[in-house]
Amino acid sequence: MAKGRVPLLAREGWVHAAVTGGAAAGVHYFLGWVWALPIWLAFVFVLQFFRDPSRNIPAAPLGLVCPADGRVIAVGDVHDPYLDRPAKRVSIFMNVFNVHSNRSPTEGKIIERWYRHGRFLNASLDKASDENERNALWIQTDEGDDIIVVQVAGLLARRILCDVQPGERIAQGERYGFIRFGSRVDVYIPPSSQVRVTLGDKVKAGSDIIAFLIH
């Protein structure tokens, strides 16, 4: 079972919810609902942005589950810049209305973690994978497959959060991080993998299978 289970509202949003909710209630009490309405709307936005629903992880030992909610914006053969190898890449774009919790595509050991500072281009652009601020995890499965999953900051994102470190084990579908306010996640997988998604597909983290590892 995945560790680090959180309530329906992600812990990254607790402070934001408390501040906006408290401000809305205070203005409502002292000045009335008309003045408070914009702050109440901000409070509702915070609640929807930081929602973190539970997911039923499919039983698929060689399947790679989706690491993020959103829309598939890139699928294809690329060069993996982290392990210097040929690979297939699946990229998922998250807009501000998607759930922004990130989940591990596979079970395995975290071999390495890289955090690289960069720009804050629109995350839907292909060059965002190489130029934007990003956090990458190298996960090695028990079968020896190497999976790279990369959290990429976006135009509005200014904070990438990652709760795991090299040497730890991670479960398939386990929640491991969060990106605030619009972003993308790239997954680099072995070139022999069978990709199960196509451009434009809407996917859910932890629930949908994006590819199968082929042995």
Both 16 and 70 in a single domain?
A: no
Both 16 and 92 in a single domain?
A: no
Establish if 56 belongs to a structural domain: no
Establish if 1 belongs to a structural domain: no
CA distance 134 to 73: 17
129 among known catalytic residues:
no
Establish if 55 belongs to a structural domain: no
Q: Are 111 and 202 in contact (CB under 8 A)?
A: no
Establish if 136 belongs to a structural domain: yes
Establish if 133 belongs to a structural domain: yes
Both 81 and 123 in a single domain?
A: yes
The DSSP result for the chain, as a single string, is --SS---SB-GGGHHHHHHHHHHHHHHHHHH-HHHHHHHHHHHHHHHHHTB---------TTEEE-SSSEEEEEEEEEEETTTTEEEEEEEEEE-TTS--EEE-SS-EEEEEEEEE--B---TTSTTHHHHB-EEEEEEE-TTS-EEEEEEEE-SS---EEE---TT-EE-TT-EEEEE-SSEEEEEEE-TT-EE---TT-EE-TTTSEEEE---
Instruction: Give the pLDDT score at 173.
Output: 93
Both 34 and 101 in a single domain?
A: no
Both 97 and 30 in a single domain?
A: no
Establish if 5 belongs to a structural domain: no
Helix-helix angle 14-31:33-49, to 10 degrees:
170
Both 207 and 137 in a single domain?
A: yes
Instruction: Give the pLDDT score at 179.
Output: 83
Query: Domain with 114 in it: what CATH number?
Result: 2.70.70.10
Instruction: Give the pLDDT score at 182.
Output: 62
Q: What is the mean pLDDT of each run of 10 residues along the chain (215 residues)?
A: 53 81 90 91 84 84 93 96 97 87 95 87 72 91 96 74 94 89 88 96 94 92
Instruction: Give the pLDDT score at 157.
Output: 54
Question: Token pair for residue 189?
Answer: 């997988």
Among 124, 129, 183, 193, the one annotated catalytic: 183
Both 171 and 199 in a single domain?
A: yes
Instruction: Give the pLDDT score at 180.
Output: 72
Establish if 57 belongs to a structural domain: no
Both 68 and 45 in a single domain?
A: no
Sign of CA dihedral 127, 116, 206, 78: positive
CA distance 106 to 140: 9
Q: What's the structural domain count of the chain? A: 2
Q: Rounded to two decimals, what is the model's pTM?
A: 0.83
Q: Are 208 and 65 in contact (CB under 8 A)?
A: yes
Tell me the residue range of the domain where 37 lies: 11-49
Instruction: Give the pLDDT score at 151.
Output: 94
Q: Are 152 and 174 in contact (CB under 8 A)?
A: no
Establish if 149 belongs to a structural domain: yes
